[in-house]
Amino acid sequence: MNIGEKLKRLRMSNSLTQEELAGRADLTKGYISQLENDTACPSIATLKDILDVLGVSMQEFFTEPTDAEVVFGAKARVRPTGEDGPVRVELLVPGAQNREMDPALVTLEPGAEMDEQDFHEGEEFGYVVAGRIQVRLDDKIYTVKKDECFYFTSDRRHAVKNIGKGPAKILWVVTPPTFDYKSR
């Protein structure tokens, strides 16, 4: 395990400079730099202080991800809307409510429409894998075809409808996880 590289990755994912991390952990910027370049080795107490600032436990820091936490096959998918219906949602990554994003594969039968969602925190991205859909944001309608994508902040009322003759499939990512599975 490369402790320095992992510390740097955690610091950057927390949008902290070396100086900010050092100040919060009661260390110097130079020492943080040495740790990240693996030219110094922290004591357990110092490492714990740094990890507390970064919001990570010692156990989490030293646990390496397994293949089961990186690659998810079809058997891992969850279908909260049931097996059949005009709108089918498959959650692609189990436990997404504990993650930053909620990726889903949404299938809409011809004419099917998801219920309008009120505004909420976050952002939404969708890539149309098959078919043609309409995305309604407040009172404006956008047509999105196969191999096109949409992106919007979730601070507007929004709904999606299949306007094609066959099923529409959308790879949809919501952040933070707030995916609502209602349909009409």
Locate the domains of the chain by residue range.
3-62, 74-175
Question: Fold match between 3-62 and 74-175?
Answer: no
3-62 folds as 434 Repressor (Amino-terminal Domain) (1.10.260)
Burial 26-53 (b: 16+ CB within 10 A, else e): ebeeebbbebbeeeeebeeebbebbbeb
What tens-digit pLDDT sequence spans the chain (184 residues)? 689 999 999 999 889 999 999 999 999 999 999 999 999 999 999 999 999 999 989 998 998 766 557 778 888 777 765 557 899 888 888 776 667 788 999 999 999 998 888 878 889 999 999 999 999 999 999 999 999 999 999 899 999 999 999 999 999 998 877 655 444 4
Q: What is the pTM of this model?
A: 0.63
Q: Which CATH code is given to the segment(s) 74-175?
A: 2.60.120.10
Distance CA 170, CA 112 (A): 13
